[in-house]
Amino acid sequence: MKTIKGPAIFLAQFASDAAPYNSLASIARWAAGHGYQGVQIPSWDGRLFDLKRAAESKDYCDEVAGICAEAGVAITELSTHLQGQLVAVHPAYDAAFDGFAAPEVRGNPAARTEWAVQQLKWAAVASRHLGLTAHPTFSGALAWPFVYPWPQRPAGLVELAFDELARRWTPILNAFDEQGVDVCYEVHPGEDLHDGASYEMFLERVNNHPRANLLYDPSHFVLQGLDYLQYIDFYHQRIRAFHVKDAEFNPTGRGGVYGGFQSWANRAGRFRSLGDGQVDFGGIFSKLTQYGYDGWAVLEWECCIKDSEQGAAEGAPFIESHLITTAARAFDDFAASGADDAANRKMLGL
């Protein structure tokens, strides 16, 4: 068995125009000061990273890696969650998602998709330049508006949506394969890949592409009522990235899975800071370690109650306390009899 690396932190929810969150050097020092050993970088945030330059210049990537190393952290992965979202957007979400794209392609869905695909391809090269092997992203969604349909979905609608999603992603997956980097889809409500069944539908359509892998985030499964421990049993061979994020689900007579259009604080399902929710992280770290996951454990902080600084300060020791040093020998070695083949045959009466 292998050992999970960490603790690390996803910088997306912390980056801002205020120091120390407004430059890579300062936010990396901030993360190291909280005890993190790695940082996951949002590739869309120009205050921290220039994705196009990273794809074009190995020297720039060496500079970025050096900035992080000087601060005392490693780069765990780049993220293209926002760009991946734009690979596939249902027209109902055009206005909402346009803000994720560059200004010059807003209002033009076809151009926006081309822009997003290029961003992903740049991320593949940039990841290789940085020596990274995993890349978190979103799948985007064409079928999501029909997830709980009324009236019923027309026959073939979902199949067509997944055929198109696979058509758009296959060249991207091939580009990542050329660079030796895994695409790690964060399975997430709002994406067409939102649970195990939908992931399998996609995987079948990309011919079980070796780069079509997973980012594991249990918080999204708590809010769906999905067995997030058995999910690891099913898909551990495809899990190549890990967001450590807590959540709770407390349904009432007023609200359940869908949230009732309430604010996050008033929903039955809420994201929480580590240790404040219901996720069985002991079980998760045990299963991932059992199956040999040796990637990073990366805090993703999202909480509707606790301040982000407190969440970050508490996150590193929480993750550290769950990391498992794998056993170097069997627990029952002390009772080994040292029997050889002849002795075994004698014991069996052979």
Give SS3 for 136.
Answer: strand
Q: What pLDDT score was predicted for residue 296?
A: 98
Nearest to 197 by CA among 154, 233, 165, 226: 226
> With DSSP H G I counted as helix, E B as strand and the rest as coil, what are the percentages for the chain, rounded to 5?
45, 15, 40
Kindly report whether the global pTM for this prediction surpasses the value 0.85.
Answer: yes
Find tokens 């936010």 and name the residue: 27
For the chain, 350 residues long, the average pLDDT of each consecutive 10-residue run is 93 98 98 98 98 98 98 98 98 97 98 98 98 98 96 97 98 98 98 98 98 98 98 98 98 96 96 98 98 98 97 98 87 74 90
Q: What pLDDT score was predicted for residue 331?
A: 73
Residue pair 48/24 in contact (Cβ under 8 Å)? The answer is yes
CB atoms within 10 A of CB 13: 17
Please tell me the total count of domains within the chain. 1
Residue pair 97/85 in contact (Cβ under 8 Å)? The answer is yes
Q: What pLDDT score was predicted for residue 126?
A: 98
44, 110, 175, 290 from 102: Cα distances, Å: 10, 13, 22, 43
Residues 6+ apart with CB under 8 A from 250: 268, 269
Instruction: Report d(CA 18, CA 313) in Å as an integer.
Output: 18
Instruction: Report d(CA 261, CA 267) in Å as an integer.
Output: 8
Enumerate the β-bridge partners of residue 40. Answer: 10, 77
Domain that holds residue 155: 5-347
Nearest to 141 by CA among 215, 85, 186, 97: 85
CATH of the domain at 163: 3.20.20.150
